[in-house]
Amino acid sequence: MAEMWINMGPQHPMTHGLWNLRIKVDGETITDAEPEVGYLHRGIEKLCEDRTYTQIIPITDRLCYGSSLTWSHLYCLTVEDLMGIEVPKRAEYIRVAAIEMQRIASHLMWLAAYGADLGLMAGFIYCMRDREVFIDILQALTGSRITYNFPRIGGVAHDVPSNFDRDALRACTYMERRLKEYEEMFDRSKVFMMRNEDVGVLRRTDAMNLGVTGPPLRGSGVRYDLRKDMPYSVYPEFEFEPATHPDCDCYARYRVRMDEMWQSCRIIRQAVQKMPKGKWRILAPRNAPEGTGVGRVEDPRGEGVMYVVGDGTDKPYRLKIRSPIFVTVSAAPKMLIGYKVADVVAIMGSLDMCIGETDR
Amino acid sequence: MSRKDELTFTGFVIRPMSRTMRTFVRALLLGKPNTILYPYQKLDLPPRYRGKHVLDFKRCIGCSNCAQICPNDCMWMEKLEDPELGKIERPGIDLGRCLFCGLCVEICPTVALHESVEFELADRDRSGLRFGPKELRDDTYADKVAEERQMRSLPVLDMNKCTGCEKCAGECSEICIAMMPIEATGKQKPEISLPKCTSCGKCAVVCPEKAITMSNVYESYFDMPEPKFILKNCTGCAACARACPADVIYMMDMPGTEKMLKDGKKSKPKKRAVFVLEKCVGCGKCFRACKFDSIEMPGVRR
Amino acid sequence: MNLYEFCRGLIHWLVDLINNLWYWLGDVLPWWFGDFFDAVGDFAASRGHISVMAIGLEVLIIVIVALINVLNFIWIDRKLSGRIFDFYGPYYVGYRIGGWLQNLADGIKLFVKEIIVPAKADKFGFMLAPIIFVGSSFLALATIPLSPHFGVATNESGHGVSAGVIIAFAFFAIAPFSILIAGWSSNNKYTLIGGMRSAAQMMSYEIPMLLCVASVFLLAGSFSFFGVVDAQHDVWFAIPLFLGFVVFLVCLVAEIEVQPFDLPEAEAELVEGWTTEYCGMRFGLFMMTSYLRGYIGGALVTALFLGGWQGPWFIPDEIWFLIKAYAVFFVIEWARWSLPRVRVDQILDVGWKRLMPLAVLNLMIAVALKTLGWF
Amino acid sequence: MAERGKGISGPAEGLERAPSTVDEDPIERIIRSLLDSFPSAIADFQKLRKGVLRARIERRDLFKACKYLRDGLGFEHISMISAIEYEDRFELVYHIASYQHRVFLELITTAPKDDPSVDSVSSIWGGANWQERESYDLMGIKFNNHPKLERILLPSDYLYHPLRKDFRG
């Protein structure tokens, strides 16, 4: 068969969103690849220049459907850096607990999509079912299921509801039991390992050079987790180990995310148990001073950075968002070339695409 | 955890299949499946759930803060006539554009706006999603739900009664009341610094004219813009005082501005606006009502 | 009394009934009409005509039974695998019978949908592929008896076609060609890859599968279903030929293209594989036929390895056969929902490097058993 | 099938903390060696927070400085490239991180309004490739020597650069 270009997307079960992966195949072997993004560009950066600082928070929620809380948290961190606000301790603990729940929910959604990509329908349904547990707690905490609009500049919107700590600890126990089942279902399944091992190899040097961050980077053997290495919020007060794996393949990325879920359970337990009393929100000024603020967090998908320029009014002069997947997907050709068409779903699935933040 | 060399023969099919079989047996024999049969069973929604809005007409003061904070511009203020409340202005919401972010509920200074747990809002027509104030009205809803917002008992000043006697300032143990002269009127008014106030209520007790009363006010986490008054432009037309939803603005005479009329009598003195900013909700209605650029509010759209 | 005799008797009775009226009509009419009426009546009552009518009725009954089974299979697939996934499955349509009518509702929906042919498709091939796919599957079905009394291959002698199993496998193996035709004629890159994968996949599973069947023939000493099932009177072939049973089951999963081996229509990578461009009832036929093939697969395993219709006396033979076939199908579905899909090079790997030696080993075991005279 | 990432025995290999041969904080060392190498180019050095630095650099020295940052100082990771339009200039902010030293550097360079072009750093960091394309797409900054400077988020026949302040949708 002659070589031909195949458009995988913009509407394709592999893409998890609206983007296009053009691959050149020789038979079933990929010889070239070219990701195309931009189908979901909503101009959020431009939109933010016309909104007040408070009004932007619900918009940053819309950056990523999988982990919207991280992005509004990142935005609030950035603006707090710009305004020079110290957030109350209790608010930081609530934020950390909520973000780690969001991380587990996001990773579960990734695992569900990954299972469906590889044809493991039971994995898809089970993960979506268990994600509900965390979504329900977040719903009781914030009032919404996907777009929480929960962090505020200078704290969080609400105090924790009654029974929050009991529910959170119960959910952690449930999740740890479930994770063991997943490990039995995924790791111990020979067919799953056949699809994952030695597939989508991304060397350590390549991963660092191409700007890959988050689980793909740690799956390539680089021990770099912003929560540990450049701590923000109250992460230094928690005990946890950033997950790494030296194998550089899809299985390593899968393993890193599973280990991160374990660590997130640990962090939630500590955050709930150590949560101090006090205020959860302070009055933030309406107008930001002139200057810049930068925030940097460990998103479930990688390193999220925001850079805000204030000009003394109540609206930001410029807001720049660094999406981890936007950079990671540019490394996709490096991983794809040489593998089979069927590996595309495994490789791109292991990157955990989220188009909302990629196209902004 | 598990690696390739740990994989045994059972890994081919038996382990994953035994996992699914356990769920199968549990779902088939021991209990109900996990699904909720939606139209017949409903989810238990937490009280914080953000659904359709509910407006309490009696609490609402018509300040339009909700319409201003809305990121999508999906709220508007509607003028209407109510048999009980007279001529009022109340917000309406286009739920077809609403984000359900809850900022309008959070900013409401009197907690008149709530979000109910009702989420079944589908309609065959976009116009069916435009809820005017009358469709949102439910004056009993606020009493039914648990209050989330913190309340503080704070002194509220009525400038019509105040004589500027300084008794309240003398009584305040936290020294949070300062007497400030009002320019061009020859009077003075107490200015209360609310962050320092301990809600002790002594100022209200000591006031001979009962100009200061203690009342419960919801705490706000929003830094609202404050009106800045420019005396030289003011004509004393009282448009701002009529527009103010929170009774912040009082019109006071400026002695010495009387003009001699032709018949020898003196005209009434000119008036000026006086702001009691402790009560201000920052809505900007006075700014919009003023035709003479006498009020400035940076960052508020006209 | 077998199915053929039953149909023949029924037709005979009907023809007699109608002919009575007919002859009476001929009597009351003028003579030139009466002669014609007599001739028609005699033809209707002739032996050849009744045989043809009986076979037609028999085919109709078998197809209806098969289609009801297919509906049951789709229901099992949805309902029981719904329980595997911890949800209800079809629920409201046919609430009293467990949502069974949902399949019919889906069929009606597919019937009223428009059939679209892509503009640059090869129209003839595009039309031909579903015909071959459905036709060959039904032909394979026709050879399989549910019991000595129930099956189209039973004739008046009652012994069935002597090479029934061979014919069944011959028709069963035609489907990949129609998949290739469908994939090529759709003029779409995904369908093309799907068709090519189907061909590659057939290369890998067909030979070990037939080697397993050959070992069964060796032990049974017969090519017909009756012979094979009769030979399992004492012990099911699944016990001495356990290896062959496992290999056959794995190959069967590949043959009927369900989950671990559904490469031609891998929905995650190749949208819907070779059925991407089909819609309406053509897609419905593909869908229905894939479950029909599941039924055939279950029936083949039952007949070749699980003792066919032989079972306790208190259950009728046909029901006993169907219970076994349903059980096999459920195991296949169970594996389908709990295993990921393999890659195209891995199925070739599995087929040639794992299943092929095992199948040969199984054949050697069969030869040994036969030589030792245990069968 | 490509071979596995051989030679990586553990996650920490080659990624130990900064060698302790240098007596002081790695951040101090970075500042000093950067100032030594580019005395004229680097201006306005600030330590913002713990581990966050800010420096300004001349446009013509950007490429050289970036190369030195990666090869000499171990800044392996380019985090973000943001373009900001002011009334009289464009500012390009390079956020560069070091995995070894846990340092986050904010490198600012300016370009005049009539010639918004800088040297591309995508040959130094592969991760800069798409970010530069994005800056070109949305802000209209030209990157010299970029391998493929095309629009990325917007359609290729789009006429405007929408993040500029004079753009009105």
Q: Tell me, yes or no, if A122 comes closer than 8 A to chain C by beta carbon.
A: yes
Average pLDDT over residues B145-169: 79
* Gyration radius from chain C CA atoms: 24
* Sign of the four-CA dihedral A8, A12, A13, A17: positive
Residue D151 has pLDDT above 50, yes or no: yes
> In the 3-class helix/strand/coil scheme, how is C174-240 assigned residue by residue?
CHHHHHHHHHHHCCCHHHHHHHHHHHHHHHHHHHHHHHHHHHHHHHHCCCCHHHHHHHCCCCCCCCC
What residue of A is the nearest CA neighbor of D16? Answer: A223
Beta strands in chain A (DSSP E): 4-8, 20-26, 29-36, 151-152, 155-156, 290-299, 302-311, 316-322
Q: Let me know if residue D52 belongs to a domain.
A: yes
Which member of C337, C339, C344 has the closest CB to residue A189? C339
pLDDT(B155) > 70: yes
Range from A74-83, C142-151, C359-368, D53-62 carrying the lowest mean pLDDT? C142-151
Q: Residue A104 has what pLDDT?
A: 92
Question: pLDDT at position B302, please?
Answer: 66
Instruction: Please report, for chain A, the start and end positions of each structural domain, with discontinuous segments joined by +.
Output: 4-359
pLDDT at D24: 57
Distance from CA of A303 to the nearest CA of D (A): 8
> Residue B2: its pLDDT value, please?
43
| pLDDT at residue D13 greater than cutoff 60 | no
Domain count for chain B, please give it.
4
CB A46 within 8 A of CB D163: yes
**Is residue A88 a contact partner of residue A278, using CB atoms and an 8 Å limit?**
yes
What is the pLDDT averaged over residues C192-211?
86
Residue B167: partners with Cβ closer than 8 Å, 6 or more residues away: B206, B207, B208
Q: Which among A266-270, A275-279, B132-136, C29-33 has the top mean pLDDT? A: A266-270
Distance CA B125, CA C39 (A): 71
Mean residue pLDDT across chain B: 81
Partnered with residue A306 across adjacent β-strands are A295, A321
Stretch among A268-277, B42-51, C154-163 having the lowest mean pLDDT: C154-163
Residue A287: predicted pLDDT = 83
Chain C interface mutation, best of B9, B14, B15, B35, highest count of C Cβ atoms under 10 Å: B35
Question: What pLDDT sits at residue A185?
Answer: 81
Residues B238 and B295 grouped into a single domain: yes
Closest alpha carbon to B290 in B229, B246, B247? B229
Q: Which of D3, D47, D82, D99 to mutate to test the interface with A (most CBs of A within 10 A)?
A: D82
> Nearest CA to CA, how far is A338 from chain D (Å)?
7
Confidence of residue D6 (pLDDT cuts 50, 70, 90): very low
Q: Is B40 part of any domain?
A: no
> In chain B, what percentage of residues exceed pLDDT 90?
0
Query: Rounded to an integer, what distance in angstroms lies between the CA atom of residue A43 and that of residue B294?
Result: 38
d(CA B268, CA A296): 64
CATH code for position B66: 3.30.70.3270
Average pLDDT score over chain C: 83
pLDDT of residue D12: 42
Are B157 and B195 found together in one domain? yes
Written as one string, the DSSP assignment of C306-359 is: S-TT---TTS-HHHHHHHHHHHHHHHHHHHHHHSPPPPHHHHHHIIIIIIHHHH
Q: Is the pLDDT assigned to residue D10 strictly greater than 50? A: no
Q: D75: domain range? A: 26-117
Give the pLDDT band of residue B12 (cuts 50, 70, 90): low
pLDDT beyond 60 at D20: no
Are the beta carbons of C187 and C276 closer than 8 angstroms?
Answer: no
Q: CA–CA separation, C162 vs C164, rounded Å?
A: 6
Phi, psi of B235 (to 5 degrees): -105, -5
pLDDT tens by residue, A96-153: 999 999 999 999 999 998 888 888 888 888 888 888 889 989 998 888 888 888 898 8
Residue of A nearest to B12 (CA): A190
Are C84 and A122 in contact by the 8 Å Cβ rule? The answer is: yes
Strands D77-85 and D117-119, bridge-based pairing? unpaired
CB contact under 8 Å between A191 and C189, yes or no, is no
pLDDT at C266 exceeding the cut of 50:
yes
pLDDT over 70 for what percent of chain C? 95
What is the DSSP annotation of C41-57? HHHHTSHHHHHHHHHHH
D80: its two tokens: 């973000």
Taking CA–CA distances from D139, the nearest residue in chain A reads A46
Q: Is the pLDDT of residue C37 over 60?
A: yes
Q: Are D90 and D116 in contact (CB under 8 A)?
A: yes
**pTM for the structure as a whole:** 0.87
Q: Among B92, B127, B144, where does a domain finish?
A: B144
Give me the mean pLDDT over the A195-221 stretch.
87
| Cβ <8 Å between A247 and D5 | yes
The answer to which of B194-198, C252-256, C300-304 has the lowest mean pLDDT is B194-198
* Sequence-distant (≥ 6) Cβ neighbours of residue C41 within 8 angstroms: C19, C22, C23, C26
Q: Is the pLDDT of residue C291 over 60?
A: yes
Residue whose C-alpha is closest to residue B152's, from B105, B200, B190: B200
Percent pLDDT > 90 in chain C is 0
The β-bridge relationship of strands D103-112 and D52-57 is parallel
CATH 1.10.645.10 for domain A4-359: yes
- 3-state class of B22 per DSSP? helix
Q: Under an 8 Å CB criterion, which residues of C touch B?
A: 80, 82-88, 91, 334-335, 337-339
D111 in a structural domain? yes
Q: Among residues 32-51 of chain B, which lie with CB inside 8 Å of chain C?
A: 33-35, 37
Residue B5 predicted with pLDDT over 50: no
Q: How far apart are CA A270 and CA A96, in angstroms?
A: 10
pLDDT attached to residue B9: 54
**Which residues does C1 contact at the CB level (< 8 Å), separation at least 6?**
C9, C149
Could you tell me if residue B251 is inside a domain? yes
pLDDT score recorded for residue D17: 45
Q: Which residues span the domain enclosing B167?
A: 151-219
Whole-number pLDDT of residue B1:
40
Best of A52, A181, A188 to mutate (most B CBs within 10 Å, chain B): A188
B222-238 pLDDT, tens digit per residue, is 888 888 888 788 887 88
E strands in chain D: 43-49, 52-57, 77-85, 89-98, 103-112, 117-119, 142-144
User: What integer is the mean pLDDT of A208-230?
Assistant: 87
Q: What are phi and psi of A82, to 5 degrees?
A: -65, -45
Kind and range of the H or E element at C85? none
- Say whether the B–D interface has 3 or more Cβ pairs within 8 Å: no
pLDDT at C152: 64
Q: Identity (one letter) of the amino acid at B295?
A: I
Helices (H), chain B: 14-25, 65-69, 103-107, 133-136, 141-144, 167-171, 202-206, 239-243, 285-289
Q: What is the DSSP-derived secondary structure letter of residue B268?
A: P
Which of B83, B110, B144 represents a domain boundary (last residue)? B144
| Separation of alpha carbons A216 and A202, rounded Å | 8
Q: Has residue B153 got a pLDDT over 80?
A: yes
Q: Establish if D56 touches chain A: CB-CB under 8 angstroms.
A: no
* Chain A stretch 321-360, residues whose beta carbon is closer than 8 A to a beta carbon of chain B: none
Question: Any idea which residue has 């961190």 for tokens?
Answer: A77
DSSP calls for B105-163? HHH-TT--EEE-S------SSGGGGEE-HHHHB-TTHHHHSPP-S-EEEEEEE-TTT--
Residue D140 lies in a domain: no
Residue D29, CA distances (Å) to A227, D20, D35, D74, D76 in order:
24, 12, 10, 12, 17
Q: What is the pLDDT of residues C62-79, one digit of tens each?
A: 888 888 888 888 888 888
Query: Looking at residues C144-155, what average pLDDT do you find?
Result: 70
Asked if pLDDT for residue D129 goes beyond 80, the answer is yes
Q: Do chains D and A touch (3 or more CB pairs under 8 A)?
A: yes
More confident of the two residues A112 and B154: A112
Closest among D121, D124, D117, D51 to D90, alpha carbons compared:
D117
Over the stretch C209-227, which tens digit does the pLDDT of each residue have? 888 888 888 888 888 888 8
Residue B61 has pLDDT above 50, yes or no: yes
- Is there a contact between C340 and A343 if contact means CB atoms under 8 Å apart? no
Is B300 part of a structural domain of the chain? Answer: yes
- Which pLDDT belongs to residue B112? 85
pLDDT of A356 over the 50 cut = yes
Domain end point (choices B95, B123, B144)? B144
Mean pLDDT of A157-179: 88
Q: What does the alpha-carbon distance between residue A320 and residue D107 come to, in Å, rounded to a whole number?
A: 15
Span A76-110, pLDDT tens digits: 999 988 888 888 999 999 999 999 999 999 999 99
Q: Is pLDDT above 50 for D11?
A: no
What pLDDT sits at residue A239? 87
Residue B196 scores a pLDDT above 50: yes
